[in-house]
Amino acid sequence: MKNIRKLILGALALVAAGTVHAQDIHFSQFYETPLFRNPALAGIVNGDYRVQAVYRSQWNSVANAYKTISANAEYKLKVGGGDNYATIGMQVFHDEAGSSSMQTLHILPAVNFHKSLSSVRNLYLSAGFMGGVVQRRIDRSKITTNNTFDNGTDGEPLATNGYRYFDGSAGLSLNGGFGENVDNSFVLGVAMHHLTRPKNTFFQSSAIELAPKYVLSGALKLGMAENTNLIMHSDVVVQDKSQYLIGGLLYNMKFGPDMDMPDLMLSAGAFVRWNDALIPTVKAEYKGLAFGLSYDVNISKLKTSSLGRGGFELSLTFVGFRRNVDNSSLNAMHCPRF
């Protein structure tokens, strides 16, 4: 039974490594990975800089956990004498999947330009690009297939234990405020990933390419009262024949003497990844430092095997302003605070 289990997991790992239309990494707290969604979302934050990290652990109940770490940093600079800005950033991913220890590392620098369309309404159009190196490796000693039992080797036609490629993304976004309430704001974005259609396989076949991925993103913040907001996030992702929709709501409460810059904010809500998971979520932010926690409750066809357990995510975000007020966006660029 143990050997059969290893056989199944090894086969799944090889299929995942060589599938033409394999899906990319995904996060339940997707709104905490802005560059991963769209490089044109870099710098759309109420601050001069932002540092974020997200840790995801998935499928503990089915096999060895899939572990993913995302880290990104952004720094916003004023451009010229107007209200235009540019953001430079970096996105790093590390993913380890299943019993074969298939590892993927992304190192992706990014740049985003924000063009002011209306200083009165704080309306900005942004165009961003992200590109860098992706490296993938697999530990063949941990793969068990039928050939292993026949002759002691895995016997699979793998050309290499690892490979790397250049990948790129580009996107546009529009963000601003609306209505009488200063908390009312929105973000809309569209992005295309895998511009280079890189070859993506451990097998000897050279025809396998990573299909382009298209992401339509949206966020809406509505001021309900002086100290409460309703925040909505959603993504629609299409990659060749695969697609998914994720969206949900957070109810946000502010605490402190200044409701425009509150000392403490607490949020709670839920998201749904369509036909896959229900995701209860909580978040706390204190003076620019935010902590988020979510858990996937599996509602897909795998819920019987997984006992309804999907995975949990932890996120950590820090946002701040430069001390030099003259070069800061503190009193000039009012981005949505989601």
Task: Read off the pLDDT of residues 152-194 as tens digits, 9 standing for 90 and up.
Answer: 555 555 556 788 899 999 999 999 999 888 889 999 999 999 9
pTM summary value: 0.84
For residue range 92-123, what is the model confidence (pLDDT) as tens digits? 999 987 666 788 999 999 999 999 998 776 89
Query: In this predicted structure, what is the pLDDT of residue 1?
Result: 43
Within-domain flag for 216: yes
Above 90 in pLDDT, residue 11? no
Helix (H) or strand (E) holding 13: helix 2-18
How many domains does one find in the chain? 1
What does residue 14 show for φ and ψ, rounded to 5 degrees? Answer: -65, -40
Within-domain flag for 80: yes
Within-domain flag for 334: no
Enclosing domain of residue 240:
2-327
Q: Which CATH number goes with the domain that contains 163?
A: 2.40.160.40
Cα separation, 198 vs 304, whole angstroms: 36
- Helical ranges in 56-158 per DSSP H: 146-151
Residue 27 Cα distances to 6, 70, 118, angstroms: 27, 9, 33
Cα separation, 219 vs 8, whole angstroms: 40
Within-domain flag for 154: yes
Query: In this predicted structure, what is the pLDDT of residue 114?
Result: 96
The tokens describing 84, both together, are: 């235009």
Cα separation, 293 vs 28, whole angstroms: 10
Which residues does residue 304 pair with via DSSP β-bridges, in sequence order?
A: none
Question: In 138-184, which ranges are E strands?
Answer: 162-177
Judge contact between 294 and 29, C-beta under 8 A.
Answer: yes
Judge contact between 337 and 44, C-beta under 8 A.
Answer: no
Within-domain flag for 30: yes
